[in-house]
Chains A and B, each alone.
Chain A
Amino acid sequence: MSNGLDLGLRAQAAAIAAGDVDPGELLEATLTRIEERNPALNAVIETFPERSREMLAAAPEGPLYGVPIVIKDEWPLPWRAQRFGAAELMVPTAPAESGPYRALRDAGAVIVGVGNMHELGAGSTGNTSVYGPARNPWNTERCPGGSSSGPAASVAGRLVAGAVGADGLGSVRFPAAYCGLTGLKPTFGRSAMDGHHMAPVTTLIVSGPLCADAGDCRLLGSVLYGEKLAAGETTGLRIGVVRDTVSEDVTPEVAEACDAAVEALRAETGGEVREVELPGLDPATLAAILIINSESMAGTTPERLNKLNPELSPLARGSLKYRMLLPAAATTQATRVRTLMRRRLAALFSEVDVIAWPTIPAPAPPLDAPMVELPSGTTTADQANVRGAALANLTGIPSISMPVGLSDEGLPIALQLQGAWGTDELLLDVAEALERANERRWVESLPPLAETSPTEA
């Protein structure tokens, strides 16, 4: 009997259900794998073997019965408060059940560890964390992406087959893209969010799955959504492409791989590609930043800012103080831009089924200098990444990132697809169609670090 360690998520679940894999052996093998590989990745910042064994012992025979999962340091667990990758949060936290925890538990899953993340969720690279940065399994000197850095590195390094992240401004999609995974940002409100310290105020953040492929995201997503994400048809898919900064200010190899993926998708679905206009992406990005800034500062006082933990990074300290100064009028204007972009998208989605552009304009940059060189010049990865991601959070639409190639340096390249509100299932269908078109080449590519391990011996 195989221990099932290197199977994908749905294969693990199916093998356990069929009696081909013993879930106890899988759990122990997973814990051993984390011990072996995590020192190079810093993806998992805490394990709790006894809690995991207790979860397995009490697990119902749900769709993820016995399957090990990593959850981001963004939700509380009954035995651990979230730290949000930071020395302190602006709000008090305590151990508790959260929506994602309950969803996983009720599906029979076993939480084996907490995934590292970018400090306070405030970065697309994952290079800053109170635990030290997580590292990209494709090249451990490169950024894993953020803010769900640890969940992504855990899956890409095949520590586990599925992980739960969160996406407020691209935080599932960036690490999925940097680590060569599929990551789903659900329609706002569809996936479990309660228990998150910002759940009462956020209008942007959602939980989302990070897995090797779309089928695994469908399974883990169904658990997080609390409903089956049924498969459907993609025949005659209408693909919209926007000729703007998001698709043009990208490296040549990103442009080439994404263009090829769009064409492969068109051919696979017998569909069509249309160039469409979507003005206002720059103000939309700033609007999303302003709204998440104001929501994240809810309840913060000047007195609180004068007593910040000295272990917070200088960037976080300065950022928190600067956010307090942003004028309310700008946030009000941001809500107007939100309306404007939602109406524009609603009109656009009467013409096309999905909008496609690169998830990231350049592959993962170095951890110690997260800058990217684009046709427009050299800029920070954060600045470049957010402009392709914020629209989905601002407007509430779903979005998915999937791998579509490797750069000359052997780093993943990713395409992002966005659909109308509630079309999360369609995005999974489309991602699966693209996998078929590529003969699953990219979703089955493994980073060198994940190819062999003493665990298999």
Chain B
Amino acid sequence: METVNPADDFIPAGLASLGIEADEIDLAVMAAFHQLLWPPLLELLALDTEGLEVERCPDLSKAPQ
């Protein structure tokens, strides 16, 4: 799995674009979350789900139709 550089642009760019302020501790925590979540998130996005008929408003109390 590719290692993500916590210092990449994602976090500062995202914060700046949304106008969210963050101190050094916030940034360190966010970097840790990013390192943990981002690689599997990219894998999730790359999953081939083409052809899957997605349930619309599924009733989660029941088996899928």
Contact = CB atoms under 8 A, between A and B. Distances in A.
Contacts of B63: 342, 345-346, 349, 420-421
Interface string B39-65: 011011101010011110011111110
Contacts of A329: 45
Contact of B61 (A330, A343, A422): A422
Nearest to B47: A283
Contact of A318 (B21, B30, B41, B49): B30
Contacts of B61: 187-190, 396, 421-422
A327 to B, nearest CB: 8
6 contacts: A306-B20, A314-B29, A318-B32, A321-B30, A324-B14, A334-B44
Interface string A307-322: 0000000110111011
Nearest to B34: A322
Contacts of B10: 325
Contact of A339 (B11, B26, B29, B55): B55
Interface residues of B, number: 38
Interface of B: 10-11, 14-15, 18-22, 25-30, 32-34, 36-37, 40-41, 43-45, 47, 49, 52-55, 58-64
A330 B30 contact: no
Given A190-B61, A318-B27, A345-B63, 9 more contacts: A283-B40, A283-B43, A303-B19, A315-B29, A322-B29, A324-B20, A330-B45, A342-B55, A342-B63
A402 interface: no
Interface string A258-301: 00000000000000000000000011001101100000000000
7 cross-chain pairs, A with B, having the tightest CB-CB distances, nearest first: A318-B29, A396-B60, A325-B14, A189-B61, A188-B60, A322-B30, A336-B49
A335 interface: yes
A207 interface: no
Given A302-B18, A305-B20, A383-B36, A340 B29 contact: no
A338 interface: yes
Nearest to B61: A189
A203 interface: yes
Nearest to A315: B29
